[in-house]
């Protein structure tokens, strides 16, 4: 299964998945005419998705942070835009099971720290295989994200106020695994990606406090905490009429 480009409303979904609609990507420069069923259309969608994700506020999200957005111009009329994310994970010492840091369930911090995808993509929706989708956009099949740790499709709740960190983390690691970097044989708008630098780190302050903990970790267990970084650099080109489009070429 692969990402599905939905060029028009009413098209059938190829699989159970999540739809990011064109209307949610319009503020980031994606026009309806930009959505074409080819590699250029895909990179236009991905560039808009990363602009949206890069501009979101992660200050209250537990275990996810965004690096500073970077922009360079390696050649005349060419623009490179970079975006990076860092995810914090914990591994329980006895079971050796790892996960994102769970959000707290008790005290004054209960329920805080989740990532609400609806706050980034207001029209984001869960769709079922063979159903008619309501909008043009990008469909991300859930089955592709499950090897990256995504929860089952039936358990996914995209309604406002729900924590979607697990889907978000799986989505970005999935993209890191499948988006090709430009080389002599492969035309791509992605010129650089870092898919796995990691380092140990300390747990958040008061992570396992008896009163008002800042995480949902079990205070009777021991944990090892580490982070992992992902970064992406996309390239665009400014046309003579001053419009900006993805630059999908080989090296």
DSSP string, 146-196: GGGTPPPGGG---STT---HHHHHHHHHHHHHHSPPP-SS--BSEEEEEEE
Q: pLDDT for 159-200, tens place per residue?
A: 999 999 999 999 999 999 999 999 999 999 999 999 877 889
CA atoms of 232 and 81, how far apart (whole Å):
8
Please compute the mean of the pLDDT values over residues 51-70 and round it to a whole number.
90
The radius of gyration of the chain's CA atoms, rounded to the nearest angstrom, is: 19
Distances (CA, A) of 159 to 8, 60, 133, 163, 247: 24, 18, 17, 9, 35
Q: What percent of the chain has pLDDT over 70?
A: 100
Predicted local distance difference test score (pLDDT) of residue 1: 55
Contacts of 107 (CB under 8 A, 6+ apart): 211, 212, 213
The distance of Cα 61 from the centroid of its chain, to the nearest Å, equals: 14
Predicted local distance difference test score (pLDDT) of residue 88: 95
CA atoms of 100 and 116, how far apart (whole Å):
15
Looking at residue 222, the DSSP 8-state letter turns out to be -
177-178-180 Cα angle (round to 5)? 110
Predicted local distance difference test score (pLDDT) of residue 69: 75
In the numeric block, the tokens 């369930």 are attached to 105
Closest CA relative to residue 144, chosen from 175, 115, 166, 165:
175
- Contact (Cβ atoms closer than 8 angstroms) between residue 63 and residue 88: yes
Predicted confidence (pLDDT) at residue 158 exceeds the cutoff of 90: yes
CA atoms of 135 and 102, how far apart (whole Å):
33
Predicted confidence (pLDDT) at residue 121 exceeds the cutoff of 90: yes
Domain boundaries, the chain: 4-246
Q: pLDDT class for 32, splitting at 50, 70, 90? A: very high
Predicted local distance difference test score (pLDDT) of residue 147: 93
The distance of Cα 84 from the centroid of its chain, to the nearest Å, equals: 10
């Amino acid at each position: 299964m692969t990402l599905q480009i939905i060029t028009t409303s009413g098209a059938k979904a190829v699989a159970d998945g999540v739809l990011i609609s064109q209307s949610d990507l319009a503020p980031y420069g994606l026009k309806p005419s930009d959505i074409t069923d080819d590699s250029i259309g895909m990179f236009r969608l991905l560039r808009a998705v990363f602009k949206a994700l890069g501009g979101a506020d992660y200050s209250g999200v537990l275990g996810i942070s965004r690096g500073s957005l970077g922009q360079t111009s390696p050649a005349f009329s060419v623009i490179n835009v970079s975006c990076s994310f860092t995810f914090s994970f914990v591994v329980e010492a006895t079971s050796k099971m790892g996960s994102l840091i769970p959000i707290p369930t008790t005290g004054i911090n209960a329920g805080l720290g989740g990532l609400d995808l609806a706050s980034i993509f207001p029209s984001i929706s869960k769709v079922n295989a063979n159903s008619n989708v309501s909008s043009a956009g990008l469909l991300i099949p859930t089955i592709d994200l499950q090897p990256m740790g995504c929860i089952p499709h039936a358990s996914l709740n995209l309604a406002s106020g729900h924590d979607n960190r697990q889907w978000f983390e799986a989505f970005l690691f999935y993209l890191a695994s499948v988006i090709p970097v430009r080389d002599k044989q492969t035309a791509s708008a992605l010129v650089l990606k870092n898919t796995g630098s990691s380092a140990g780190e300390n747990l958040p302050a008061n992570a396992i406090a008896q009163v008002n903990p800042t995480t949902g970790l079990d205070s009777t267990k021991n944990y090892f905490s580490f982070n992992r970084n992902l970064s992406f650099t996309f390239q665009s080109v400014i046309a003579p009429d001053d419009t900006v489009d993805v630059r999908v070429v080989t090296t």
